[in-house]
């Protein structure tokens, strides 16, 4: 597996990371613990050195799973986790990035992850009630104490990124990005390039849609949050299928799968991008990692962009309450 550096930092990780959320949260019932451990450990064996989790995934269960799975390999891998939500009675009940809360969460995450240092600590969502300078200052303290190595932001807008970066250099921004969601290209990516900040696209496969395995007739399980995502309504899936068709036809030309083309496309955008697809299945993990071996030429990329630009995408990527938590 090739390695990449996140921006100008010295955080070097595998070109494709692993998003662990879906093992415990978000896409239906959590997987059996032993299955989750097996998937994560197989990823390590295949060269993945970057694992993404958060306290709110579960809550707490995903960090515990990652901590146990990674324990034998801890020195070989980088773990990213996140703070920023208020959690009560096992449910996320709003935002909380007060400095004292950040420090409490970091201590609890260290225990759950069974480690003495967090490689990358993200603010999960921007908290409008806490100045970002205070947030960056709290993480700076944790870095000086040796409990955290790098500071990250998630779904933050340009002004927040700039203000945070002045207090404590931001190593990486994590936001959604794929052929299905290209909004970061307008302002976010040029800002990251200017400041030397890495980019970690989550949902690089469009929450599974770009794999071609989801149709307008697909029924999601009751705990799957795609049930409430406007972009995944049956009529929008039907309309958006045209983009999957573009990816699929290109995959045939390249003797690859649609998922591999979607990941190769992200990797080809910038050398400081590290996508973090997730899966619960080892054969899908193997397929995703194969995306790092697909070479897309400048001409390939032009053809994909030209075909994709003719597809008018339908539906918001989040329901309204989740949309409000995104800082742009």
Catalogue the active-site residues: 57
Could you give the dihedral angle defined by the CA atoms of residues 199, 204, 206 and 210, in that order, rounded to the nearest 10 degrees?
A: 150
Cis bond upstream, residue 59 (ω within 30): yes
Phi-psi group of 196: left, alpha or beta (phi > 0 → left; psi -120 to 50 → alpha; rest → beta): left
Q: How far apart are CA 52 and CA 58, in angstroms?
A: 14
Check if the beta carbon of residue 144 is closer than 8 Å to that of residue 117.
no
Q: How far is CA 204 from CA 15, 19, 123, 128, 265, in A?
A: 13, 10, 20, 27, 9
Residue found by looking up tokens 């959690």 in the block: 87
Mark out the alpha helices in the chain (DSSP H runs): 33-45, 61-70, 99-112, 132-144, 158-167, 188-195, 234-254, 258-269, 282-289, 298-308, 320-323
């Amino acid at each position: 597996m090739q390695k990449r550096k996140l921006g100008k930092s010295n955080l070097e990780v595998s070109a494709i990371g692993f998003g662990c959320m879906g093992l415990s949260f978000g896409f239906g019932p959590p997987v059996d613990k032993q299955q989750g451990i097996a998937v994560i450990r197989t990823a390590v064996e295949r060269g993945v050195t970057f694992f993404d989790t958060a306290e709110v995934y579960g809550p707490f269960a995903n960090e515990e799973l990652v901590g146990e799975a990674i324990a034998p390999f801890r020195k070989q891998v980088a773990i990213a986790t996140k703070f920023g939500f208020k959690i009560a009675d096992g449910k996320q009940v709003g935002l909380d990035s007060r400095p004292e809360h950040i420090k409490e969460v970091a201590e609890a995450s260290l225990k759950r992850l069974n480690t003495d240092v967090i490689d990358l600590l993200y603010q999960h969502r921007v908290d409008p009630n806490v100045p970002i300078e205070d947030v960056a200052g709290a993480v700076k303290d944790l870095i000086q104490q040796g409990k955290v190595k790098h500071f990250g932001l998630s779904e933050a807008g340009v002004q927040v990124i700039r203000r945070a970066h002045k207090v404590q250099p931001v190593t990486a921004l994590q936001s959604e990005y794929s052929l299905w969601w290209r909004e970061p290209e307008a302002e976010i990516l040029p800002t990251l390039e200017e400041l030397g900040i890495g980019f970690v696209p989550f949902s690089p496969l469009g929450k599974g849609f770009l794999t071609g395995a989801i149709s307008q007739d697909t029924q999601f399980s009751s705990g799957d949050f795609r049930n409430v995502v406007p972009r995944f309504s049956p009529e929008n899936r039907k309309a958006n299928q045209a983009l999957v068709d573009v990816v699929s036809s290109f995959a045939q030309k390249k003797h690859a799968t649609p998922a591999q083309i979607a990941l190769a496309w992200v990797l080809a955008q910038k050398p400081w991008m590290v996508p973090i697809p997730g899966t619960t299945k080892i054969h899908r993990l193997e397929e995703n990692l194969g995306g790092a071996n697909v070479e897309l030429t400048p001409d390939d990329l032009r053809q994909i962009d030209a075909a994709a630009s003719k597809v008018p995408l339908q539906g918001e990527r989040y329901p309204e309450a989740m949309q409000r938590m995104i800082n742009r």
